[in-house]
Structure 1
Amino acid sequence: MKKTVILFLLVTAFSSVNAQTSYSGTELKQKCDSILEEGNTLYKYEKAAWIGSDLAMEKKEIKKDFGGLLIYQRNDSISAVVLAKEGTKCIYEVIFKNGSNNPCKESLIVRDLTGIEKSLQQIKKKMFNEALNNEKYQVNCPQGYNINMELIPYELGYKLYFILGTSQSKVIPFGNDYIFFGDKEGQITSWRKIHSRLIFSPTEYEGNKVRGLTHSHLKTEPFISATDICTFKLYGSLYELNEFEVLSTGLRKYFKYKLKENEIETRDM
C-alpha cells in the first residue's frame, strides 16, 4: 500500500509594499473572507475559460477560427465568449449560471461584440500589452507552463490577473503570478508579483500520494492569496486533494484552505 505524505515547499511570496504585522480576530476574518471571495470569483472566470475552450476545440468550425477568449460576469452568470481571429466578432458563447460548471446556454451564432464586450476586450488588451512589454514588470513564463489572464472589474477600475496553467500531470502550478491594477481607461496604476517564482507542487513524492501541500509567504505577503485558492480549486480535485496551507512568516500563522468546505482556517505557529 502506498503511503500518503505532506509536502512542505519552502518558497517565497512577496510584494512591493510594507505589510501590517498584527490583526485583531475580526480584522483577520474580514481579510480572509475578502480573499476567499476574490479567489472564488477568479476560479469562476478560470473554470469558465477551461470549459469554454475545451468545448470550442471540439467544434471544427470554431477551432479553425479561434482567436482567444473573453470571460466576464453578467448579473449572476459568467459568459465565455470565443473571439474570431480578427478579434471583433463572437463566434461561440457559453454561459454558466450561479457558479455552475455545467453550461446553461451555448450559442454558435456569429455576432458583433456588444458595447460592454468591446470595452472589456480593449481594456484587457491594453493592460496586457503594457504588462508584457514594459521591462519593469519582468513578466515571464516557465517552460512547460502557460500564463492565463483574467480581467475583473472593481470599484476603481480593473484588476488583471496573470496565473499559471499547465497540461503536465501530477503537479499543481502555484506561483509566478501577478496582479495589475488599472484605472477606468485601463492604464496600469500599480502592480505586484504575488509569489517570487513558480512553486512546483507535485501530487506524488517518491511513489507516494501527497495528501497535503504547504508553502511559505514572506512578511510582505502575509496572507494566503486569491490566486492560491483559485489554483487549488482548479487542480486539487483532479488529484483528490482537499486542503493546502500557507505559512505566513509575517503573522506567524498557518492559513489552511479546505476545498470541500470552501473555507479558510487559521492557526498559530
Structure 2
Amino acid sequence: MKQIIGFLFFFVSIILSAQNLTLSDKELKQKLDSIKTEGNLLYSYENASWHAGDLVGSNKRLAENTGSYITYQKNDTIKTSFLNKAGNMIIAELSFKNNQTKPVKENFKERGLNETESILKNIRSAIIPQLSDPKYSVTVPQGYSLNMIIIPFNENYKVYLIPGTVQSGIIPFGNDYLFVSDKKGNIISHKKFHSRLIPTSTALENGGTVTMSTHSHLVTNPFISATDICTFKLYAPLTTLEEFSVLSTALGSYIKYNYKKDNIEVVKNP
C-alpha cells in the first residue's frame, strides 16, 4: 500500500475522553494508516467481485447456472470463484491483480472447491442465518443490498457487510457491519460502524455537482472507517468527487480521505 503523502499534525496528543484513550500524533497516524490499509484491502476484494460479476453476468450460459460467489486472496492475486446453483462445484474463476478492472486470468473449467473456498462457503452459510438475530440490528433498506467480505483474521475470520446500490449518483455510506467468527462461522464479536444508512447524493437538483461529501461519526466511532474508504473508492470514480471527510466528534476535527492520492489528513476544517 502507498504511504500517506501528507499528514497535518493537529495536537501533540489527542484525548478521547469517551474511550479513556490518549493518542500521540504518531499513534494517531499509525491508527489511520492501519485503517487505510484495511480499507484498501476491502476495496481490492469488492473491486474483483464487481468486475467478475459483470463479466460472468454478461455470459448467458454462466449467468443461468451461477449461484453464489467467493472472493479471496492468494499471494498477490484476488480471486473470485462462482459456484453452480447446487453450490458444490466452481464453474468460473477470475483472477485480478493491482485492482485492475480486467482479470489477468480466466478459468471456466468446472472443478471442485479447494480448501479455502470450502471454508469460506461454509462460513458464509453459517453466518447468514445468524444475522437475523435482532441483537445485531442488521437492516437492508429498500433499493440497497449488503455485500459480504470474508477475510482471514489470526485464527478467525473478519466478516464485513457493506452496502451496495445500483442507483446512480449515490454513494451508500453507513449501514456497515463487522463480525468476527471462528472457522465454523460462529459469531464471536460484532460492531456496527454507523447508526444508519447515509446515502450521499453526488448531484444537485439544479443540475450542479457536489464537490465535497461529509458525514459525522459519533464518539463511539472516532475514526474514519475502513468501510468508508472502501465504499468511497468503489463509487467515487463514477462521480466527480475525489475526496470526502468524516467529522469526528471525539477528535473535534475532520478526517479527510482522497482516493486518487490514497491519502488521509486530519484537519480542523474540511
Query: What is the DSSP-based 3-state SS (H/G/I as helix, E as strand, rest coil) of the residue aligned with 1:204?
Result: coil
Once the 2 structures are TM-superposed, how far is the Cα of residue 20 of structure 1 from its aligned partner?
4.7
Q: Secondary structure at the match of 2:148?
A: strand
User: Which structure shows the higher strand fraction?
Assistant: 1
Percent of matched pairs sharing the same residue? 48
Q: Shift in Å at residue 232 of structure 1?
A: 0.3
Contact 2:126–2:184 (CA<8 Å) still a contact in 1?
no
Deviation at residue 128 of structure 1 after TM alignment: 2.4
Normalised to the residue count of structure 1, the TM-score between the two structures is 0.90
- The residue type paired with residue 188 of structure 2 is T
Q: 2:178·2:190 contact (CA, 8 Å) conserved in 1?
A: yes
1:185-240 alpha-carbon deviations (Å, 9 max, x no partner): 32211101110001020001232200110000010100000000000000011102
Query: Could you state the TM-score of these two structures normalised by the residue count of structure 2?
Result: 0.90
Measure the CA separation in 1 of the matches of 2:21 and 2:168: 37
Q: Quick one: which amino acid aligns to residue 117 of structure 1?
A: E
**Distance in 2 between the 1:214 and 1:183 partners?**
35
Structure 1: any 5+ residue segments left out of the alignment?
1-17
In structure 2, the partner of 1:191 is 190
Residue 238 of structure 2 is aligned to residue 238 of structure 1:
yes
Contact 2:47 2:99 in 1 (8 A): no
Question: Could you tell me how far apart the structure 1 residues matched to 2:89 and 2:194 are?
Answer: 36
What is the letter of the counterpart of residue 183 of structure 1? D
Q: Give the root-mean-square deviation of aligned CA atoms.
A: 1.3
What does 1:1-269 align with in structure 2 at a 5 Å threshold?
A: 19-20=19-20, 22-130=22-130, 132-207=131-206, 208-268=208-268
CA distance in 1, matches of 2:223, 2:46: 21
The residue identity in structure 2 corresponding to 1:81 is S
Q: Is the 8 A contact 1:150 1:160 kept in 2?
A: yes
Higher relative contact order (CA 8 A, sep 6+): 1
1:22 touches 1:251 (CA, 8 Å); kept in 2?
A: no
What's the offset of the Cα at 1:21?
5.0
Change (3 A) 1:20 1:29: farther
1:19 and 1:221 in contact (8 A); partners too = no
User: 1:77/1:64 Cα in 2 relative to 1: closer, same or farther (>3 Å)?
Assistant: same
SS at match of 2:116: helix
Q: Secondary structure at the match of 2:209?
A: strand
Instruction: Please tell me whether the aligned partners of residues 89 and 112 of structure 1 are also in contact (alpha carbons under 8 angstroms).
Output: yes
Gaps of 5+ in 2: 1-17
Q: Distance in 1 between matches of 2:21 and 2:150?
A: 30
Separation of aligned partners in 2, 1:20 and 1:143: 38
CA distance in 2, matches of 1:129, 1:156: 22
Q: In the alignment, residue 133 of structure 1 is paired with which amino acid?
A: S
For 2:166 and 2:26, locate their aligned partners in 1 and report how far apart those are by CA, in whole Å: 40
Amino acid of the residue matched to residue 149 of structure 2? E
SS at match of 1:245: strand
Amino acid at match of 2:165: T
Q: Distance in 2 between matches of 1:214 and 1:63?
A: 38
| Aligned partner letter, 2:267 | R
**How many Å separate the matches in 2 of 1:195 and 1:169?**
22
**Displacement, 1:63?**
0.5
Quote the Cα distance in structure 1 between the aligned partners of 2:20 and 2:232. 26
Contact 2:209 2:240 in 1 (8 A): no
Q: Deviations over 1:160-193 (max 9, x none)?
A: 1111100001110000111101123322111011
Q: State how many pairs are aligned.
A: 251
